[in-house]
Amino acid sequence: MKDWRSLSLKEQIAQMIVVRASGHLFDHQIRYPAWEANNQQLKAWVEDFNLGGVILLGGSSVELQARSQQLQSWAKIPLFIAADIEEGIGQRFPGGTWFPPPMALGKIYQQNSNLARQYAYQMGEVTAQEALAVGVNWLLAPVVDVNNNPDNPAINIRAFGDRPEVVADLTTAFIQGAKSTAILTTAKHFPGHGDTSTDSHLDLPALNHSESRLATIELPPFEQAIAAGVDSVMTAHLLISAWDSELPATVSKKIVTEILRNRLGFSGLVVTDALIMGGITKYAPLETVAVMAIEAGTDILLMPDNPEVAIASIYDAVQTGQIKESRIHKSLERIWQAKQQVFTNLIGSVDVTKKLSSDRAKSTVNSILQNSLQQSKTSVITDPHSLGRNLIVVDDVLNANYLDLNSPAITIPQKYNYQRQLVDSNTLDCILLDSRPTLLQIFIRGNPFRGNAGLTDQTKAIYQKLLASQQLLGVAIYGSPYVLEWFQSMIYLDLPWVFTYGQMPQAQAIALQALFADKAHTLEFQSHDFGF
């Protein structure tokens, strides 16, 4: 890899930009055209501007390997290829291992901290190994936030828990597991997005805690991640009034340089959260944000809406003396050090099918799901002896990648004469018109851009009417323990229920086997490979 000093100033700045791109190979497969450039545009940015990297979403794990090779072939300087894979490759790219959300490990930690640490290490190790096999060299994981706000719509079960010591312990184990490879890791979202009820994808949240509270709750997991050798820290679009009453953390020199760099001693890469998020776009235009983020001490701008605008804005700021060229050089030194770490130890082309979803990885997923499962103690569902309803509630019917006609959430109830009815959580009114005996399955978790943590006053009222109708024969909740807590406060004593943190087919099979006490089908469902 050529020395960064031989690059022009614009090329040096371009190395500080990571753009969003589709993981699919062809333009007609692009799912988010507002954020993902077509191949002609993307190739021009990589070849002509020498962009630093891409963040990928979409495509199968096997396709992703070909896509990564394609992107690297366009680049004069090897690219960072990043992905938001907090729950394993399979979370974003089918075919790889899909782990339960991190909060499942926090639940296990309450009973057996050593076992939870072991799972977290294996989760980091498997995720890193599979990521490198498909060409991803930068994990935008783990989430280091302490989710102590049940109404948090952005973090929720993406966090390892609601106690800083648990989060610190498990994120450290995850980082250690991932660092058994040459992959880059990321602690996010600094200085802590866990105690917010506003989604920074939509607007700018504010944390109004005192410095002593921040030092006690929010910062310890980041301090532990830094001590564990995390390679990068992602800043959050948050207003932290105790440290900077005017500027969001993304663009605050007080927070990025004085606290993260100087006080906490972090010397690795600082990367922004996505710059297309409402929490920062509503604050200022990209031209301003790009310059302010670099002034604050950031090394990498993630997902600017237009990389050409970001590069030009920073270049002009250097030309006018607003930003010193030496400031750009400091970031380039860190970027080069990180790229040398990744590409010095780069594995050659491998048979990706031999690297993904190993028996050991699937066994670990199964164990985490089994050990974090919760269910009622009083009864299980019995056959209704007539046609029942399998009512499945999801966040978005068009984006429920964990469900298809062969998913256990559909096929297991079908064996007991439950006919499926799939509805969006925001169109629940229609469910009260059906008086059949009902199995209720709820797939709700914290998800970006939704704006709430899963239950609204309107949906609570509908669920209350359904509970009062006495037509429910059982409830299965997938994802959020906060949804479970509400149901437990409302549910009648003899109603069978089961809860799992996972939403993938493997979680569905384990949960429904428990709910139906279906020993006859346990071996059948566990022997199937559902694509995780």
**Given a cut of 60, is residue 319 above it in pLDDT?**
yes
Same domain, 338 and 391: no
Half-sphere exposure of 251 (CA within 13 A, CB side): 20
In a domain, 365, yes or no: no
**Given a cut of 60, is residue 213 above it in pLDDT?**
yes
Lowest mean pLDDT among 82-86, 143-147, 377-381, 395-399: 377-381
Q: Sorting pLDDT into bands at 50, 70 and 90, what band is 523?
A: very low
> Looking at residue 478, what is its pLDDT?
97
Query: 222 with 254: CB under 8 angstroms?
Result: no
Q: Is the dihedral of CA 37, 39, 45, 51 positive or negative?
A: positive
pLDDT in tens, 397-452: 888 889 999 999 999 999 999 999 999 887 787 788 888 999 999 998 876 666 66
**Given a cut of 50, is residue 527 above it in pLDDT?**
no
**Given a cut of 60, is residue 526 above it in pLDDT?**
no
Query: 140 with 57: CB under 8 angstroms?
Result: no
Nearest-10 Cα torsion for 293, 321, 338, 357: 30
Same domain, 57 and 177: yes
Q: Which of 354, 389, 423 is the last residue of a domain?
A: 354
**Given a cut of 50, is residue 351 above it in pLDDT?**
yes
273 tagged catalytic: yes
84 tagged catalytic: no
In a domain, 262, yes or no: yes
Residue 444 sits at φ, ψ, to 5 deg, of -130, 135
One of 193, 201, 231, 237 is an active-site residue; which one?
A: 201
Lowest mean pLDDT among 218-222, 361-365, 432-436: 432-436
One of 273, 299, 395, 518 is an active-site residue; which one?
A: 273
In a domain, 366, yes or no: no
Helix (H, G, I), strand (E, B) or coil at 449: coil
Look at strands 497-500 and 374-375 and give their pairing: antiparallel
Same domain, 176 and 298: yes
Lowest mean pLDDT among 54-68, 157-171, 253-267, 391-405: 391-405
Hey, what amino acid is at 94?
P
Report the number of distinct structural domains present in the chain: 2
For the chain, the farthest-separated pair of C-alpha atoms sits apart, in whole angstroms, at: 79
Same domain, 51 and 10: yes
Q: Is the pTM of this model over 0.85?
A: yes
Same domain, 87 and 193: yes
Same domain, 81 and 173: yes
**Given a cut of 90, is residue 104 above it in pLDDT?**
yes
CATH of the domain at 389: 3.40.50.10870
Same domain, 335 and 483: no
**Given a cut of 80, is residue 529 above it in pLDDT?**
no
CB atoms within 10 A of CB 98: 29
> Looking at residue 518, what is its pLDDT?
67
In a domain, 33, yes or no: yes
C-alpha R_g of the chain: 23
Q: Which of 323, 354, 385 is the last residue of a domain?
A: 354
Q: Which of 354, 382, 411 is the last residue of a domain?
A: 354
> Looking at residue 348, what is its pLDDT?
54
> Looking at residue 349, what is its pLDDT?
64
Q: Sorting pLDDT into bands at 50, 70 and 90, what band is 378?
A: confident
**Given a cut of 70, is residue 521 above it in pLDDT?**
no
Domain that holds residue 408: 374-527
Residue 438 makes CB contacts below 8 A (sequence gap 6+) with 388, 389, 390, 391, 466, 471, 472, 473
Same domain, 150 and 198: yes
Hey, what amino acid is at 510?
I
The pLDDT > 70 percentage for the chain reads 94
User: Mean per-residue pLDDT for 193-206?
Assistant: 88
**Given a cut of 80, is residue 345 above it in pLDDT?**
no
In a domain, 443, yes or no: yes
Quick one: three-class SS letters along 429-480? HHHHHCCCCEEEEEEECCCCCCCCCCCCHHHHHHHHHHHHCCCEEEEEEEEC
Q: CA separation (Å) from 303 to 21, 421, 473?
A: 9, 38, 46
- From the list 158, 240, 153, 250, the residue with the least C-alpha distance to 202 is 153
pLDDT in tens, 276-296: 999 999 999 999 999 999 999
> Looking at residue 3, what is its pLDDT?
86
Residues 455 and 490: their CA atoms lie apart, in Å, by 13
Residues 450 and 460: their CA atoms lie apart, in Å, by 17
**Given a cut of 80, is residue 532 above it in pLDDT?**
no
Query: 421 with 431: CB under 8 angstroms?
Result: yes
User: Mean per-residue pLDDT for 262-288?
Assistant: 96
Same domain, 45 and 162: yes
Q: Is 26 left (phi over 0), alpha (psi -120 to 50) or beta?
A: beta
Query: 80 with 345: CB under 8 angstroms?
Result: no
Edge-first strand order for the sheet with 472-479 is 374-375, 497-500, 472-479, 438-444, 388-394, 418-424
CATH of the domain at 181: 3.20.20.300
Same domain, 269 and 206: yes
Residues 110 and 106: their CA atoms lie apart, in Å, by 7
In a domain, 360, yes or no: no
**Given a cut of 60, is residue 476 above it in pLDDT?**
yes
Query: 133 with 181: CB under 8 angstroms?
Result: no
Residues 53 and 153: their CA atoms lie apart, in Å, by 29
> Looking at residue 446, what is its pLDDT?
72
In a domain, 307, yes or no: yes
The burial of 212, by beta-carbon neighbours within 10 Å (0-12 exposed, 13-18 middle, 19 or more buried), is given as exposed
Same domain, 419 and 516: yes
**Given a cut of 60, is residue 524 above it in pLDDT?**
no
pLDDT in tens, 3-46: 888 999 999 999 999 999 999 999 999 999 999 999 999 999 99
Residues 380 and 333: their CA atoms lie apart, in Å, by 60
Same domain, 37 and 134: yes
The mean pLDDT of the chain is: 92
User: Mean per-residue pLDDT for 483-509?
Assistant: 93
In a domain, 331, yes or no: yes
Q: Sorting pLDDT into bands at 50, 70 and 90, what band is 528?
A: very low
